[in-house]
A and B are shown apart, each in its own frame.
Chain A
Amino acid sequence: MEVSHSVKERTIAENSLVILLQGLHGHITTVDLRDESTATGRVTNVDAFMNVRLAEVTFTDRQGTVSHLDELFVTGRNVRYVHIPDEVDIRATIERQLQAIHRVRYFGGRDKGRKEFPRAKHK
């Protein structure tokens, strides 16, 4: 999944397990919502706030009624669990996402390119 354009979001992701969820891009995943409904679909985006966007979704509401949704966006606040698919290697996924973030951060070489972090005051 493409790394966020926002420095803040990259930093949040790098320091939380959201980074794992971001690595699930393209995988079919089940998301359990806070109100006990569930949504199973293909992950198309997860942002630093754990907002999850799914495509081709089978949605089971809290009463058990099943419906199909082309696309679904759940706010992070309402996500209770995200099921990690069995085929996903968790550690490799996290490492890959971290590498993607670092590639963006150090684009152009270590001392070239855009500086992500404000410099401390020099003496």
Chain B
Amino acid sequence: AMSFLKRFPPPAEGVRHQQPDTEAVLAGRTLGAGTLYIAESRLSWLENSGVGFSLDYPTISLHAVSRDLNAYPWEHLYVMVNAKFEEEESKEAPMAEGEEDEDSDDDVEPIAEFRFVPSDKSALEAMFSAMCECQALHPDPDDEDSDNDYEGEEYDVEAHELEQGDIPTFYTYEEGLSHLTAEGQATLERLEGMLAQSVSSQYNMAGVRTEDSIREFEDGMEVDVAPVVAGQFEDAEVDH
């Protein structure tokens, strides 16, 4: 018997399709007749004697319906898995579809090929579709594209372009003022003070501090307490 076969109860929940009287074949060797359970959590096959195995969808690379009798003499559901499964101890007759020893190349990922041959060939479509649905429930967690996180608020591109977005891009003065915290209002006053000053002093650089505007900054940055002398930046090349 295959060493990876275990006894376990058939899945009870989320079974999208169940196909009795289905033979399971691994790398050309039959595992017997049993029932295939296509459940949302995993794919399971249980021989009539009660032992079987399960496959997790993230390990399944692809699945297909094969009716090409030249390739394999019975119509079946083909499942390619990214994992190693122990075959019987005797490793004779390496078949073209087998894996393991033939690929001494360590870079090649292990591949196991399962075939599920239902006695009712007309069920293959339903089996295939059920697997597609279940597979789609298990997207690749290792997906490098981290931008796929759309669980939060979504950015309505078109709405923004048409300025109909729910999130205002700017406020009118009165509206905006009401949104400011006390500290925000203080900051606003300070900035406005600076602007007013700079109109007269001709210098309008960010960060210019006058006596009126020295305050402690919340972020703990060290503040230069000495007031800036007007004319300090005379030699600056900034054009306003």
- Chain A residues with a Cβ under 8 A of chain B: 7-8, 11-12, 15-16, 33-35, 45, 47-49, 51, 53, 57, 59, 61, 63, 65, 67-78, 102, 110, 116-120, 123
Contacts and interface: CB of A to CB of B under 8 A. Distances in A.
Contacts of B26: none
B154 A11 contact: yes
Closest 10 CB pairs of A and B: A67-B71, A72-B64, A69-B64, A68-B68, A49-B139, A77-B140, A70-B65, A74-B62, A78-B61, A120-B167
Contacts of B125: 71
Interface stretch (B15-23, B28-36, B127-135): B127-135
Given A33-B61, A102-B158, A73 B128 contact: yes
Contacts of B155: 117
Contacts of B70: 67
Given A35-B109, A102-B158, A75 B62 contact: yes
A67 B80 CA distance: 14
Given A12-B150, A15-B147, A69-B78, A119 B64 contact: no
Nearest to A63: B96
A59 B136 CA distance: 22
B166 A75 contact: no
B179 interface: yes
A116 B68 CA distance: 45
Contacts of B132: 45, 51, 53, 73
B177 to A, nearest CB: 12
Given A35-B61, A35-B108, 8 more contacts: A8-B151, A49-B136, A70-B65, A71-B65, A73-B132, A77-B61, A117-B153, A123-B179
Contacts of B167: 120
Contacts of B124: 70
B120 interface: no
15 contacts: A16-B147, A35-B111, A49-B136, A57-B64, A67-B66, A71-B125, A73-B63, A73-B64, A77-B61, A77-B142, A78-B62, A102-B158, A118-B154, A120-B153, A120-B166
Contacts of B111: 35
A38 B66 CA distance: 16
B60 A75 contact: yes
A71 B128 contact: yes
Contact of B62 (A15, A47, A72, A120): A72
A114 B88 CA distance: 57
Contact of B136 (A51, A78, A120): A51
B148 A75 contact: no
B222 interface: no
A120 B67 CA distance: 53
A53 B62 CA distance: 10
B64, B128, B145, most chain A CB atoms within 10 A: B64
B164 interface: yes
